[in-house]
Structure 1
Amino acid sequence: MRHFLAGPLSRAAPRSAGRLACFLVAFLTLFSLMVQPVAAQSILRDAETEALFTDMVAPLVAASELDSKHVDVVLINDDQINAFVAGGQRIYFYSGLINTADTANEVQGVMAHELGHITGGHAIRFDEGAKTATGITLLSLILGAAAIAAGAGDAGMGIMAAGQQAAMGKFLAFSRVQERSADSAGARYLGEAGISGKGSINFFKKLQNYEFRLGIPQEDSYGRTHPLSGERVTLLRDVYEKDPAWDKQPDPKLEARFQRVKAKLLGFTADPAVTLRKYPETDQSIPARYARAYAWHKSAYPDRALYEADKLLKAEPNDPYFLELQGQILLESGKPDEALKSLRRAVQLTNNQPLIASLFGHALIATEDPQYLDEAEQVLKAAVNKDNRNPFAWYQLGVVYSQKGDNARAQLATAESSLLEQNYAGAIRSSQIAMAGIKENTPDWIRAQDISFIAKAEFERNSRRR
């Protein structure tokens, strides 16, 4: 942006005005994109991770006086060190942030900050900063165009350029105020929850070191959406050190769970060679074995993966997530019959946790034994009733219906899956086929109609954007 404005400017008024008009469009598009959820990102779903996040954020949600039923923490598969909110009460964490954090306490510091954005209504109020900035931009464009039309081309271009700079400066200042407000609110929630702010300070120091490595100037935060991490550490330390929770020790059970999930996440997302370097065979800890099991499974070495899973279960025979891992390895290495025992037990121990239940349902189908179809239908219906945001479970339920000859409901389940995956054309097609085969005005027919309406509206909106 700055390079464009600093480059040579043509004296030809139509061409110059055209460039600035294009710049304005890009500027407005930037604001539009910044307030939209990152729907295209790859979301990671895991029963153990989601249970951990729920327990980590719960005391902070209580301190913020939000309703815990409506606060959700979502994990995105991305190496960036980032977290954000995008409307509603959903916090998005990038896997890179989890991999960078050393402790659960550090992640809780970020959670508290993001809750500060939610309670401050910052995603909603984003339009305030955008409107002010675009107002300046539009005014400068009008005045500049008038000057160009009057023959003062250089003056007109100067007005436009100054207007763009002022608009961006105004918006960035607005963003920094929101970040400081979220910092302050987050510190308050940590204190009221009795959680030490040391993790928050430590994580900001990590960000500060990251800024140093990138060569980001540390003199002032002008031209940035966030205050400098060093500034935040200085301000927050004074608040945290006065809080009674400053010297409180972290929950050892929560910390142990975090280390497990962190290792599991690395094993699942990273190149296996990276995982095996970080967690070599000499490391016999639970997190190390967990990470290696996923790395070996990802590398198509099922025997080695099962060896690590068996060792984990020897240490903790009734751990549902170790049973889930064992079942997953067996299922995905072509042994669905052998996977059933582990997965059935995992489902029982977690009171039919929907993500684990959907994997169990898949294993029942994969045996290709008709005797399991009724059980698979029961398991998968229970899974989608508890969590209807899982396209995999809906797809598997569709397979069950198809194998039982209920093609209309197979199409309805496929429509549900397609809608969740934003395949709106597929959702429209499947929902209409379902409606044709289901008795009119029954609950399933009405749901198929709803999916059709929603998918058509989204399809048309996306078409207009192109």
Structure 2
Amino acid sequence: MAEASLMRRRRVGTLLARLLMLVALGFAVMARPAAAQSILRDAETEALLRDMSRPLIEAAGLRPDNVQVVLLNNSEINAFVAGGQIVYLHSGLITNADNANEVQGVIAHELGHVTGGHIIRLQEGATQATGIMILSLILAGAAMAAGAGEAGMAGLMAGQQAAMGRFLAFSRIQENSADQAGATYLTRAGISGRGSLAFFRRLQNLEFRLNIPQDNGYARTHPLNAERIARLENIYENDPAWNRPTDPALEARFQRVKAKLAGYVDPTQQVFSRYPESDRSVPARYARAYAWHRTAHPDRALGEVQSLLTDNPHDPYFLELLGQIQLESGHPQEALTALREAVSRAPDQPLIGALLGHALIATEDPGNFEEAKRVLRIAVQRDNSNPFAWYQLGIVYDREGDQPRAALATAERYSLTGQPQLALPNAEQAMMGLQVGTPDWLRAQDIAMASRAAVEQSRRRNR
């Protein structure tokens, strides 16, 4: 009898430990929505998002230089923040939005999460919910150990429901707060709230199509869309900016970016259905150019780009695409003319500079390496978070026989891509060949120290 009781308590303890681990992992997953998602980088898109968000960032009392709007390759209509002053937008949000104003409404809402410190407070909500769950686990374990199995399981289920209810209520409060803050920022920036309401109606229609219940707001992380719309309609419709249109130039830029993004990420047939050959608008030709290039039809892609350049021969982003198609079709020498002009027309766009550096290296002409090194160094100085640019710069240093700086560039690349186990040996190799105390040596030392710490932390976790 004693042995059976002991075995029962052990099984209960094992079960509760596993349940507790699952609860903790569940809340941890909720707190890290940005993990394992692919970032999309494009010079024209990033310039547009900066200009669209700047007045909202300033209205939120933040510094535009400190806030990033990052685009993720995800077809869902969604956006979120995940710590710091970074707003993540899904590509599906851009390609499905009707206009720039809708996206501005979403950005304003997400800035409400940033200024409200909601990611930190979300962890507080998870901690409170976990505490409720732990207490119910302990009480359930005691009941089970005493032989009251059914009562213990009932208590466990009630505790789980209470914990999740607490967490969901906490999340809904944050969403309401972000809605109100977003409305304030739109008002301060003089931007209409029409797009914000249109976005919530879009979400509501999507939920209708997916048969998501619209009558139980207590089982959701977000308030019911109907409730959000009702609360915000009165605010927006009485705002002086309600009938203020978006700047036509900004809207035209948005439609271009939306089209090129669709051409790059959407299924090909969907692109050609939305932007048929009969549509000779700039966005339609732009979308088809990217779609043709992505599907390995360089002649068709070049035809679309050349028609765009006929209308606007010095557009840096059309020139960038022309050079990209030529380069990736195996004609790097031909790409140089377009990319050099693109860099001269948009000198503040390091992503275009990195592409020019890549083309210069791809010619395999040693006479181009010095120019490649110069444009790539400028590119990483203006944007040192581009692994591709560091990779190309490492190639140039290697071709020149400058192994210490080639190792440093490689360490930078691996550090940026989250591979400290590869960044560490390259940083150490760079330090051995660089003069002690120089800026490059100090940078290699910084990477080595950070990578060593990350490697040690990983080892401790895996023990």
For Structure 1 versus Structure 2, the TM-score category normalised by the shorter chain is over 0.9
1:94-105 aligned at under 5 Å gives the runs 94-105=90-101
* Maintained 8 Å contact 1:20/1:160: no
Match of 2:382 in 1: 386
1:149, distance to aligned residue in structure 2 (A)? 2.2
Q: Deviations over 1:22-50 (max 9, x none)?
A: 22211111222222362421100000000
Aligned mates of 1:164, 1:14 — CA distance in 2: 22
Aligned mates of 2:460, 2:313 — CA distance in 1: 55
Matched residue type, 1:396: Q
Q: 1:252 to 1:352 in 2, by over 3 A?
A: closer
* Maintained 8 Å contact 1:16/1:157: no
Match of 2:39 in 1: 43
Aligned mates of 2:178, 2:397 — CA distance in 1: 48
| Unaligned stretches of 5+ residues in structure 2 | 1-6
SS in structure 1 at match of 2:218? coil
SS in structure 2 at match of 1:222? helix
Aligned mates of 2:284, 2:453 — CA distance in 1: 47
* Maintained 8 Å contact 2:12/2:141: no
1:463, distance to aligned residue in structure 2 (A)? 4.1
Q: Deviations over 1:159-201 (max 9, x none)?
A: 2221111001000000000000000000111111111111111
1:13, distance to aligned residue in structure 2 (A)? 5.4
Matched residue type, 1:208: Q
1:59-458 aligned at under 5 Å gives the runs 59-458=55-454
* Maintained 8 Å contact 1:218/1:228: yes
Aligned mates of 1:199, 1:309 — CA distance in 2: 31
* Maintained 8 Å contact 2:12/2:145: no
Aligned mates of 1:303, 1:445 — CA distance in 2: 47
**When the two structures are superposed, what TM-score results if normalisation uses the length of structure 2?**
0.96
Aligned mates of 2:443, 2:276 — CA distance in 1: 51
Q: 1:33 to 1:458 in 2, by over 3 A?
A: farther
Q: Deviations over 1:384-413 (max 9, x none)?
A: 000000000000000000000001110110
Aligned mates of 1:227, 1:59 — CA distance in 2: 27
SS in structure 2 at match of 1:393? helix
SS in structure 2 at match of 1:91? strand
Aligned mates of 2:210, 2:202 — CA distance in 1: 12
Aligned mates of 1:139, 1:24 — CA distance in 2: 11
1:462, distance to aligned residue in structure 2 (A)? 3.6
Match of 2:3 in 1: none
Aligned mates of 1:40, 1:242 — CA distance in 2: 42
Matched residue type, 2:420: Y
Aligned mates of 1:29, 1:348 — CA distance in 2: 50
| Unaligned stretches of 5+ residues in structure 1 | 1-10
Q: Say what the alpha-carbon RMSD is for the aligned residues.
A: 1.4
Answer with 149-158 or 171-180: which moved more: 149-158
SS in structure 2 at match of 1:92? strand
Matched residue type, 1:23: L
* Maintained 8 Å contact 1:35/1:126: yes
1:280, distance to aligned residue in structure 2 (A)? 1.1
Answer with 15-24 or 283-292: which moved more: 15-24
* Maintained 8 Å contact 2:376/2:393: yes
Aligned mates of 1:434, 1:88 — CA distance in 2: 31
* Maintained 8 Å contact 2:309/2:315: yes
Aligned mates of 2:313, 2:458 — CA distance in 1: 49
What percentage of aligned pairs have identical amino acids?
A: 59
* Maintained 8 Å contact 1:13/1:153: no
Matched residue type, 1:228: L
Aligned mates of 1:161, 1:259 — CA distance in 2: 50
